[in-house]
Amino acid sequence: MRRTLTSAATLLMTLTVGLATAQAADEKYEQVRIGPATYDISSTWTRQNPKSRMRLVQYGLPAAKGDEGKKAELVVFYFGPGGGGSVADNLERWKGQFSSTEGQPKEETFKVGDFKVTTLDITGTFKDKPAPFLPDFVERKGYRMLVAIVDTPEEGAYYFKITGPKATVGAQYDNWMKMLKSVKPAGS
């Protein structure tokens, strides 16, 4: 009897893990062209009209449990060849958008084909501004920002930025990395 219960429990755990894996594998992505490249974007992200002319593309991200009513978004900026400043200047500016951090910000650089990608992952108290050049801001504790500079050979840098509550942004981390690692020249 005990052996039968143990076997049944093992089978149930195996089926549960298998179902979770199948659900993760069922995640849908759509290929989206941004500038001279395409990216695989999670179908759970909702395309939105950009809030300003500085934003090339904007997506809303689904809230994690407990973050309902709080927004998280992906925005993409492009300032033309040579525009937007150096990688180091941008990393420092993004770090400055936090009044305090939880741990050390993480920087990484990697190549995907001919594209150089530099990322920053930072969590803490975010200084949320209603407009980028206004001095006023609202402090948002427990926020996370994922940013990437994707340097394209033909057109220069594209700037990707996700900002929102850390649970929501954390839940989208795998989709973020899949998007960045899927970059390839449009038409290839």
Q: Is the residue at 16 inside a domain?
A: no
Q: Which domain holds residue 80?
A: 28-185
More confident residue, 101 or 8: 101
Handedness of CA 85, 139, 52, 37 (dihedral sign): positive
HSE, CB side, 13 Å, CA atoms: give it for residue 178: 16
Closest CA to 158 of 74, 80, 91: 80
Q: Among 85-94, 119-128, 133-142, 151-160, name the one with the lowest average pLDDT.
A: 133-142
Task: Pick the most confident of 20-29, 70-79, 126-135.
Answer: 70-79
DSSP H or E stretch at residue 117:
strand 115-128
Say how many domains are in the chain: 1
More confident residue, 1 or 157: 157
Q: Among 22-36, 45-59, 97-111, name the one with the lowest average pLDDT.
A: 22-36
Q: Is the residue at 43 inside a domain?
A: yes
pLDDT for position 26: 58
pLDDT at residue 6 tops 60: no
pLDDT at residue 8 tops 50: no
* Nearest-angstrom CA–CA distance, 83 and 152: 13
CATH number of the domain enclosing 103 = 3.40.1000.10
Q: Is the residue at 35 inside a domain?
A: yes
Closest CA to 100 of 148, 146, 139, 147: 139
- As a whole number, the mean pLDDT across the chain is 86
